[in-house]
Amino acid sequence: MEAILDGFKKAIELLFSLDAEIYHIILLSIFVSLASTLISTLFAVPIGIIVGTKNFPLKRLVVRFIYTMMSLPPVIVGLVVFLFIARRGPFGYLGIVFTPTAMIIAQIILVTPIITGIVYNGTKEKGEEIKRLAKTLGANRLETLFLLIKELRINIFTGIVSGYGRAISEVGAVMIVGGNIRGHTRVMTTAIAMLRNQGDYAMAIAIGLVLLFLSFIINSLLYNFQQGD
């Protein structure tokens, strides 16, 4: 209990400490999570809409694959990405292992299926009706796509919020591909894991509370954006 109370105190101190290292950890966490969520959204939303509205061979298999990917274990993703980008791996020449870029790539792999699956579910339910309406009102393909995105915005934002939630709270994959290097790839989740190993529970809880607070702020912003028309 003492550790938790200490954590609260330290969380407030941390936010106002102006400690460069802490701010770097917080900003890097936000940057990596937002970047991976944003890039995933660009792929996942069109894929979810296409799978939800088009009929094609092996569609059921594709849907099952998306659902399976939604529950991918982060450490497995981290390991596979690491093997690909490690110095001796096929993409080792890129030199991105233990960099924020590697962390973003790993998170994109984790987040994309989540957004795709949620958008697919919404599209499956209402997509045909929206497409039919667009057609009967004379909308062209681009206008139909915009209408689908606008009408499915609640599903899309739910997908984005869920994807962001996965990204910001993720530890296994970013630990493997980022390496938790101080001042370089250390994010809040990897810092918490490290502090726990060092027995600094109060500091770990403090960073955890900051993480929770930031998640609340970003989710609130997304929620307000979703509600606005």
Token code pair at residue 157: 């934002």
Q: Are 123 and 63 in contact (CB under 8 A)?
A: no
Tell the smallest beta-carbon distance from residue 51 to other proteins (Å): 21
C-alpha span between 63 and 91 (Å, rounded): 29
Q: Toward other proteins, which CB reaches closer, 57 or 228?
A: 228
Tell the smallest beta-carbon distance from residue 229 to other proteins (Å): 6
C-alpha span between 22 and 52 (Å, rounded): 43
Q: Toward other proteins, which CB reaches closer, 24 or 126?
A: 126
Q: Toward other proteins, which CB reaches closer, 19 or 143?
A: 143
Go through 156-166 and write b for each residue having 16 or more CB atoms within 10 A of its CB, e for each that does not. Answer: bbbbbbbbbbb
Tell the smallest beta-carbon distance from residue 49 to other proteins (Å): 16
Token code pair at residue 113: 């299926």
C-alpha span between 95 and 108 (Å, rounded): 18
Helix, strand, coil percentages for the chain (3-state, nearest 5): 80, 0, 20
Q: Toward other proteins, which CB reaches closer, 151 or 170?
A: 151
Site string for other proteins, 129-158 (x = CB under 8 A): xx-xx-xxxxxx--x---x--xx-xx----
* Stretch near other proteins under the rule CB under 8 A, chosen from 1-9, 110-118, 123-131, 166-174: 123-131
Residues near other proteins (CB under 8 A)? 126, 129-130, 132-133, 135-140, 143, 147, 150-151, 153-154, 229
